[in-house]
Structure 1
Amino acid sequence: MRKLKLQMHMTIDGFVAGPNGENDWVFLAGPDEAGFQKIIELADSSDTLLLGRKLAAEFPAYWENMADNMPDNPAHPLAQLIVNMRKIVFSKTETAIAGRNVEVENGDLATTVQALKEQSGKDILVYGGVNFVSSLISLNLIDEYYIIIAPVAIGAGLSIFKERKILKLESSIAYKHGKVLNKYLPA
């Protein structure tokens, strides 16, 4: 069975975005080649990407532009992986979202994700958005949590955890720019 893997950046005070969804803090620590390589490896281990409707409004176009027009950008290899992945956008209101390999799912979240896990293929990855990820966590659908802790506190913001969740630390990697990648499994 395929696993659903969550990859998110988080501040040291536990927020994944500012109060209004700001994520300008994500890259304050600067680039780290080893850390970025791990992100590429995680994407390469997956062939399906789940997205919430709000994130999907800009996400496909951003990565398609980078894949098509920015071959010298250090994120170009990741862009190519993302563009080629099957992307499933979960929405209660939209029936179509523009982008390559993008489809919209209007059905029950838990039922649909469980059916996706039972299909053959590589693992399934989710990046966000905040409310969508919170729903996946609340429904106990995440199999592996890859939380990238940035060395910054923002004081207030949005959290993906809406209730108590006990996780088991599987591994932890510290990078030279101060970020730490923690891999957690449900306890």
Structure 2
Amino acid sequence: MRRIVYLVHTSVDGYIEGPEGEFDWPVMGPELSAYVDEVDEGIGTFLYGRVVWQMMASFWPHAEDLSDDPHVRRFAPRWRAMPKVVVSRSLPDPADGAARVLRGDATALVAALKAEPGKDILLTGGTELASHLAAAGLLDEWVIAVHPVVLGGGRRLFTRQDKRGALDLVESRTVDGRVVVLRYAAA
């Protein structure tokens, strides 16, 4: 069975975007970029909720035209080539076939996705789908990059959970002299 790895950037006060939806505060320095590349090596599918998919799909297909950042240039071809799955009740099917859209019971659909053969699944960012999958016990690993910023509001890392979920700390690492990466596994 494939594992689901949840990779997310958060502020010190636990927000994944600012009060106005800003996501201009995470800094992908060379060490954090290399760490994300390491995580990506074991991944065979990118998984998104609708909101994060729309953000990713508006940037990565033509990212090299928008940025000369080394991380962007290295990751963009990988993003385009990777199979992508979006869980959404309202997203129309992408016209270019860039992603497969799953509609219906997210828990059952993602459990079936995990049961498919292949490499692990990477869920990137977002809070609703991640919170839903965490509550259902479907997340296997959390990779949380804590950036040195206080946003003071916005979208929380996780929505309220009905029960506690124990995690085992697998790794903690400071990268680029400013970001702390915490890696946890389901206990």
Query: What TM-score, normalized by structure 1, do the two folds share?
Result: 0.88
Q: Give the equivalent residue in structure 2 for 1:145.
A: 142
CA distance in 2 between counterparts of 1:129 and 1:64 reads 20
CA distance in 2 between counterparts of 1:26 and 1:35 reads 10
Runs of 5+ in structure 1 lacking a partner?
none
Letter in 2 for 1:109: A
Check conservation: 2:8, 2:16, Cα contact below 8 A. yes
* Alignment map for 1:1-187 (pairs within 5 Å): 1-27=1-27, 31-66=28-63, 69=65, 72-74=68-70, 75-99=72-96, 101-161=98-158, 162-163=160-161, 164-187=164-187
- Secondary structure of the 1:180 match is strand
C-alpha displacement of 1:87: 0.8
What is the Cα-based RMSD across aligned positions, in Å?
Answer: 2.0
The count of residues paired between Structure 1 and Structure 2 equals 183
Letter in 1 for 2:154: G
Q: Which moved further from structure 2: 154-163 or 134-143?
A: 154-163
Check conservation: 2:19, 2:151, Cα contact below 8 A. no
Check conservation: 2:19, 2:152, Cα contact below 8 A. no
C-alpha displacement of 1:98: 4.2
CA distance in 2 between counterparts of 1:176 and 1:90 reads 33
Structure 1 segments of 4 or more deviating over 3 A? 69-73, 98-101
CA distance in 2 between counterparts of 1:26 and 1:174 reads 14
- Secondary structure of the 2:111 match is helix
Distance change >3 Å, CA 21–CA 139, structure 1 → 2: farther
Task: Give the fraction of aligned pairs with identical amino acids, expressed as a percent.
Answer: 31
Check conservation: 1:43, 1:82, Cα contact below 8 A. no
C-alpha displacement of 1:94: 2.6
Check conservation: 2:133, 2:139, Cα contact below 8 A. yes
Q: Which moved further from structure 2: 145-154 or 95-104?
A: 95-104
C-alpha displacement of 1:97: 2.3
CA distance in 2 between counterparts of 1:70 and 1:159 reads 28
- Secondary structure of the 1:59 match is helix
Could you give the per-residue CA deviations for residues 87-143 of structure 1, whole angstroms, max 9, x where no partner exists?
111111234124553111113211111111111111000113222222222222110
- Secondary structure of the 1:64 match is helix
Letter in 1 for 2:17: A
CA distance in 2 between counterparts of 1:148 and 1:5 reads 13
Distance change >3 Å, CA 92–CA 119, structure 1 → 2: same
